[in-house]
Amino acid sequence: MKVLVIGGGGREHALCWKLNRSESVSEVICAPGNPGIKREARCINIGAEDIDGLMKLAREEKPKLIVVGPEVPLVLGLADKLRAEGFAVYGPDQAAAELEGSKSFSKALMDEAGVPTAFFETHTDPEQAAAYIRKIGAPIVIKASGLAAGKGVIIAQTEEEAIEASNDMLSGNSFGDAGSQVVIEEFLEGEEASCLFIVSGDTILPLASSQDHKALLDGDQGPNTGGMGAYSPAPCVTSEVEQEVLNTIAKPIIAALKTRGANFIGTLYAGVMLTDKGIKTLEFNVRFGDPECQPLMSRLKSDLGEVLLAAAESRLGGVKLEWDDKKALCVVVSSDGYPANFETGQVIGGLDAVETAGTTVFHAGTAEQNGSIINSGGRVLGVTALGNTVQEAQQTVYKALENLDWQGGFYRKDIGYRAIKREQNS
Ligand code: AMP
Ligand code: GLY
C-alpha cells in the first residue's frame, strides 16, 4: 500500500524509516519531509500546517493510509477533514486532540475521569494567579495552556519566579495566545516515563515503555526542551506500572473523551511521574513522542503499516506488537543556543561516518544547501543505536558522535543515565 506521512521532524523520519521496512507498504510519501526522510520516502514540499495543501495532496495521491505525525495539524482538524473524504487516517480528530492542545481542558478532563494528576488551578487573571501561587508556595509549576512545543512549562523554585513566569505568559509575552491561560500545579518529584498507546476506539494497545530527557543540560538541569534524548525500554516501567497506567490513566481518559463525543484513533502519550504517592499524569499528547519515537521504531519488529492501518480502520482488536529485546537509545543533537536563540545555516559534516559507526541518524531540523546538510531548526539530529544494554547503546552513540563535524552542535553527555544506574545496581 501507499502511505502518506505528514510532518518533517525526527519522529516522522523514524516513522518513514519503519514504514519503508514494512512488508505491507509499497510506497511512502511524506509532506514536507526533510533531507533524511528523502532516503525513505518521496518528499513533497507542503507544510504540515498547510491544511488545504495537504487535502489537495491526499486527493491527488490517494494513499491507502495517512499518518499524521505532529500535534498542530491534529489540533487544526486535519484528521476530521481527511476522514470526511473517506481516507483511512492514523491520528485523532480535533475534539480528541484538545487533550494536547489545551492543558486546561486536559486537566479538567483528568479531574472528571478521576485520572491521578498534580493538583492545580487554571487562571487567566494575573492577580488571581499570583494569589494561588502564594497560597501553594514554591516549588511550583507554571504551564502555558496552549501548544508551546514542549517549552511552555516553568518549574519555579521561588514564588517570585513563579509569579514572573505567570505574568509573562498571561501578558502574551512568552508564548503568545498559548499563554493566555495558565495551569498552575503542584510540583511532583519522582522518575518520569513516557507510556504510549496505539488507540482505536475501545482498543488500547500499549507500546514499549520509554523515557525522555526533557531538560537541556546533563543531570536533567536547565530549561525544558522538546526532548534531548530518549531510550526504550524504561526499566522503571515494570509490568505492574504498565498495567496501572493502562487501567488508571489510559482507559479512563479515552472513555471520558468518548462521553464527549470524541473518537480517538491514534497515539495516546501519557507522560507520567512515579512518585512516592503513586503514579501521576504530567501531560497527555495525542501523537508519538519526539524523540521517544526514534528508539521505539528502532525496536519495533511488527509491520508498522499493518498496525496503523488496523487502527485507522477500527480493527485493532487482536493485534499484537513484537519488540526487539535489545535496548535502543537516541541522543538529540541540537543547535547550540536552543531552546532560546540559535544560528541556522551551518554545514553539518561527518554524518555518514556517524552512521557507519553503528547508528541510525534520524533528521529533524536539517535542510539541504548546495549539496550540503545544514541545520535549520533547534533539534537537528537524533542519533540512535541498539545495544544489549542501555549502556552499550549509549556507548555506541557517543563513540559514533566523535565523527560528527559540526562546531555549532550541542548534545547532552548523559542520556540514559538513570537506566544505566539501574543496570549497574542489578
Ligand atoms: P509537560 O509538557 O506538562 O509534560 O511538562 C514538561 C516537563 O516538565 C515534564 O516532562 C516534567 O519534566 C516537567 N513537569 C511538568 N509538570 C510537572 C510537575 N507538576 N512537577 C514536576 N515536574 C513537572
Ligand atoms: N518528548 C516529548 C514529547 O514528544 O512531547
- DSSP alpha helices (H): ranges in 219-303? 239-245, 251-259, 293-299
Cell of 165: 513566569
Q: For the domain with range 125-180, which CATH number is right: 3.30.1490.20, 3.40.50.300, 3.40.640.10, 3.40.50.970?
A: 3.30.1490.20
Q: Is 71 in the pocket of ligand 2 (CB under 6 A)?
A: no
CATH code 3.40.50.20 for 7-96 = yes
From atom 6 of ligand 1, which residue's Cα is the shortest distance away?
Answer: 153
Average pLDDT of the segment spanning 226-250:
96
Q: What is the pLDDT of residues 371-423, one digit of tens each?
A: 999 999 999 999 999 999 999 999 999 999 999 999 999 999 999 999 999 99
Q: Is 285 in the pocket of ligand 2 (CB under 6 A)?
A: yes
| Nearest ligand 2 atom, CA 288 | 4
Q: Round the average pLDDT of the chain to a whole number and report it.
A: 95
Q: Is the pLDDT of residue 365 over 80?
A: yes
Of residues 412 and 175, more confidently modeled: 412
pLDDT value at position 150?
67
Top-level CATH class of 189-312? Answer: alpha beta
Of residues 62 and 173, more confidently modeled: 62
| Nearest ligand 1 atom, CA 215 | 12
pLDDT value at position 250?
98
CA angle, 62 then 65 then 70, to 5°: 110
Q: Which ligand is nearest to the CA of 148?
A: 1
Pocket test for ligand 1, best of 122, 155, 188, 418 (most atoms within 8 A of CB): 155
Q: Are 117 and 97 in contact (CB under 8 A)?
A: no
From atom 5 of ligand 2, which residue's Cα is the shortest distance away?
Answer: 289
Q: What is the pLDDT of residues 131-164, one digit of tens each?
A: 999 999 999 999 988 888 767 889 999 999 999 9
Q: Is the pLDDT of residue 172 over 80?
A: no
Rounded to the nearest whole angstrom, what is the distance from the C-alpha of residue 169 to the centroid of ligand 2?
21
Domain ranges, ordered by start, for the chain: 7-96, 125-180, 189-312, 327-425
Average pLDDT of the segment spanning 292-312:
98
pLDDT value at position 177?
79
Cα–Cα distance, 263 to 200 (Å, whole number): 8
CA dihedral angle for residue 413, residue 414, residue 416, residue 420, rounded to 10 degrees: 130
CA angle, 36 then 39 then 44, to 5°: 80
- Sign of dihedral through CA atoms 32, 33, 38, 41? negative
Architecture of the CATH domain 327-425: Alpha-Beta Complex (3.90)
Q: Is 271 in the pocket of ligand 1 (CB under 6 A)?
A: yes
pLDDT value at position 226?
87
- DSSP alpha helices (H): ranges in 22-125? 51-61, 71-75, 78-84, 94-101, 103-113
Q: Which ligand is nearest to the CA of 220?
A: 1
Rounded to the nearest whole angstrom, what is the distance from the C-alpha of residue 282 to the centroid of ligand 1?
6
189-312 and 327-425: identical CATH topology: no
> DSSP letter at 218?
G
Q: Which amino acid is at 287?
A: R
Q: Indicate yes or no: pTM above 0.85.
A: yes
From atom 4 of ligand 2, which residue's Cα is the shortest distance away?
Answer: 289
Please give the share of the chain, as a percent, with pLDDT higher than 90: 91
Q: Which ligand is nearest to the CA of 292?
A: 2
Average pLDDT of the segment spanning 7-18:
98
Rounded to the nearest whole angstrom, what is the distance from the C-alpha of residue 149 to the centroid of ligand 2?
8
| Nearest ligand 2 atom, CA 11 | 4
CA dihedral angle for residue 384, residue 388, residue 390, residue 395, rounded to 10 degrees: -60
